[in-house]
A and B are shown apart, each in its own frame.
Chain A
């Protein structure tokens, strides 16, 4: 076994995760290869360091979980209720919006019809094209339109 392949397996070796044969071969190599020995010591160092990190961090939860979980269960149902009402609200609002939008559409349609009839009444000598109609049917009321173009 060459150094490269040994190093590939060192990690598993220090965790005791190799087959007997593999372990034997690694140990045989380690017996004479100083640089791989060094490598293994470093890996062990890292493993120890990580282990120490876990044990010296004297962290404890601030609260008692077992006493709180029922409370949280309740909170969960509140959350669910809140989410439910929020969803309903959104649906209601969008429905209202839809209805209002339809109404507005109807109104605009009516307005346009009215306008067209006014144009027709003026015997077509106003010479309006489609763009003009489009431009004002949103904002200008028919009355204003009539006032703007008094009878000639």
Chain B
């Protein structure tokens, strides 16, 4: 991921749009992955990214050109995601049966593994599926830092910038999130399951 670039300010609106499109092309795939990990659903992720680009374009003048464009867009996506999940929570509270029907597309279909041992592969696949379900159920603030730091490999500092919270908060949330995830996995697969990956 290219995170640091400096660019001079574009002048006209047309130039703005061209510049913006090009910038988007550079980061849309990463952004989509990020959105997918947050939402756990392809369609929602696409919507999220689309909305993010719209907002980013709307607020393009607030972008500080000495900083990374990608991180700036990530922060916007984060905001949109938070607003949406708040709305969803309210809807789910009012209409409780609605949460079931958006379970359709799970990530298993996207799973591609070039593994050698089929037995191990099946187990690993199972673990991955469960891992995903566990992360999905984490409280939103924990899930956010986990996606940022563990999936996207951001440093605590970058994560705190994107999620707009202090570094100490990132640190403690991540610690708790990992503890929780680990405990759940070991509950199902036994104490030694994680050594498969170490």
Interface residue ranges, A against B (CB under 8 Å): 8, 11-12, 15, 17, 41-54, 56-63, 65-66, 68-69, 72-73, 76
Which of under 10, 10 to 19, 20 to 34, or 35 or more describes the interface residues of B? 35 or more
The one of B53, B171, B197 that contacts A49, using a Cβ cutoff of 8 Å: B197
Interface residue ranges, B against A (CB under 8 Å): 21, 24-25, 28-29, 32-33, 36-37, 42, 45-46, 49-50, 53-54, 57, 107, 110-113, 127-128, 131-132, 146, 149-153, 155-156, 171, 174-175, 178-179, 181-182, 185, 194-198
Please give, as numbers and ranges, the residues of chain B lying within 8 Å of A47 by CB-CB distance: 150, 178
Q: Do A57 and B29 contact each other (CB < 8 Å), given the known contacts A45-B195, A49-B127, A65-B50?
A: no
A51/B151 in contact, CB under 8 A: yes
B24/A41 in contact, CB under 8 A: no
Q: Do A12 and B175 contact each other (CB < 8 Å), given the known contacts A59-B42, A60-B32?
A: yes
A57/B111 in contact, CB under 8 A: yes
Please give, as numbers and ranges, the residues of chain B lying within 8 Å of A58 by CB-CB distance: 110, 112
Please give, as numbers and ranges, the residues of chain A lying within 8 Å of B25 by CB-CB distance: 66
Please give, as numbers and ranges, the residues of chain A lying within 8 Å of B178 by CB-CB distance: 11, 43, 46-47
The residue of chain B having its C-beta at the shortest distance from the C-beta of A9 within the complex is B175
What's the dominant secondary structure at chain B's contact region?
Answer: helix
The one of B36, B127, B171 that contacts A57, using a Cβ cutoff of 8 Å: B36
Please give, as numbers and ranges, the residues of chain A lying within 8 Å of B111 by CB-CB distance: 56-57
A45/B110 in contact, CB under 8 A: no
The residue of chain A having its C-beta at the shortest distance from the C-beta of B56 within the complex is A69
In the assembled complex, how far is the CB of residue A87 from the closest CB belonging to chain B, in whole angstroms? 19
**Which 6 pairs, one residue from A and one from B, show the smallest C-beta to C-beta distance?**
A45-B194, A45-B198, A50-B150, A54-B151, A45-B197, A48-B197
In the assembled complex, how far is the CB of residue A66 from the closest CB belonging to chain B, in whole angstroms? 5
The one of B28, B33, B112, B198 that contacts A66, using a Cβ cutoff of 8 Å: B28
The residue of chain A having its C-beta at the shortest distance from the C-beta of B32 within the complex is A61
Please give, as numbers and ranges, the residues of chain A lying within 8 Å of B24 by CB-CB distance: 65-66, 69
The residue of chain A having its C-beta at the shortest distance from the C-beta of B31 within the complex is A65
B50/A72 in contact, CB under 8 A: yes
Q: Do A42 and B195 contact each other (CB < 8 Å), given the known contacts A57-B36, A69-B57?
A: yes
Please give, as numbers and ranges, the residues of chain B lying within 8 Å of A66 by CB-CB distance: 21, 24-25, 28, 53
The residue of chain A having its C-beta at the shortest distance from the C-beta of B112 within the complex is A58
The one of B155, B171, B194 that contacts A46, using a Cβ cutoff of 8 Å: B194
- A76 to B58 Cα, complex, angstroms: 12
In the assembled complex, how far is the CB of residue B148 from the closest CB belonging to chain A, in whole angstroms? 11
